[in-house]
Amino acid sequence: MIDYSARQLRGFLLVADFQSFTRAADALFITPSGLSVMITQLEAQLGFRLFDRTSRREVESRHSGDFGRRSRTHRGQYHAPRHQ
């Protein structure tokens, strides 16, 4: 069983929605480097990368699709805003 926290899940959802560690970190009231550590820990727990990081934005990796879909079904629990 994979044990990850609601905070890690919310961080993942926010980065995925905003496609930005900076904007997601602002929404969580933490530093981008703190969020990066949180996501790196979550990736280590899951055993795959969640994001393909670029200089302009963060894009969900092809391996995170199933995790992302499942996470979004529980989105309301974590009050993650939807980025348009």
List pLDDT tens digits, range 41-53. Answer: 999 999 988 888 7
Instruction: State the total domains in the chain.
Output: 1
Predicted confidence (pLDDT) at residue 66 exceeds the cutoff of 80: no
Distance, CA of 50 to CA of 61 (rounded, Å): 5
Q: Which two tokens stand for residue 47?
A: 């055993």
Token pair belonging to 36: 């990066």
Query: How far apart (Å, rounded) are the C-alpha atoms in residues 25 and 41?
Result: 15
Domain span at residue 64 reads 6-75
Residue 27's SS3 state is: helix
Domain-located, residue 82? no
Instruction: With respect to residue 83, please indicate whether it lies within any of the assigned structural domains.
Output: no
For residue 55, being part of any structural domain is answered with yes
- Asked if the structure places residue 1 within a domain, the reply is no
pTM above 0.75, yes or no: no
